[in-house]
Amino acid sequence: DTAVSQTPKYLVTQMGNDKSIKCEQNLGHDTMYWYKQDSKKFLKIMFSYNNKELIINETVPNRFSPKSPDKAHLNLHINSLELGDSAVYFCASSQDGPGQGMYGYTFGSGTRLTVV
């Protein structure tokens, strides 16, 4: 199946731990994103990568570090987890090129992170 896949789907961890969320897309897209959905369901962009290059870096604590080993993968590493990091994190991808933006993003199914 062509898709954006994230692992794990659920992650429960203690404050202060370090964790990673992995994302892979097999759609051949050039750009990948991380979004955070808070408890009120608000979705906000965190990062975007285009062909492994960081393009968008919103105001995110530097405890969050994205890594893109190739254009099909974008992982999110979080250091020293805090209670406020609890949220659903979505990975997404899109294709570049004239007119391609009209297709929007393809989203992964999300990772629910709970920090206790």
The span of 12-20, 41-49, 59-67, 78-86 binding other proteins (CB under 8 A) equals: 41-49
Alpha-carbon distance 113 to 86, whole Å?
A: 5
Chain positions 74 to 93 lying near other proteins, rule: CB under 8 A, are: 88, 90, 92
CB 102 within 8 A of CB 86: no
Per the rule left: phi > 0, alpha: psi between -120 and 50, beta: everything else, 100 is alpha
Residue with structure tokens 């992982």? Answer: 75
Told to check if 104 binds other proteins by CB under 8 A, we report yes
**Contact flag: residue 41 with other proteins (CB under 8 A):** yes
- Using CB under 8 A, list all residues that contact other proteins: 30-31, 33, 40-45, 48-51, 53, 55-56, 88, 90, 92, 94, 96, 101-105, 107, 109-110, 112
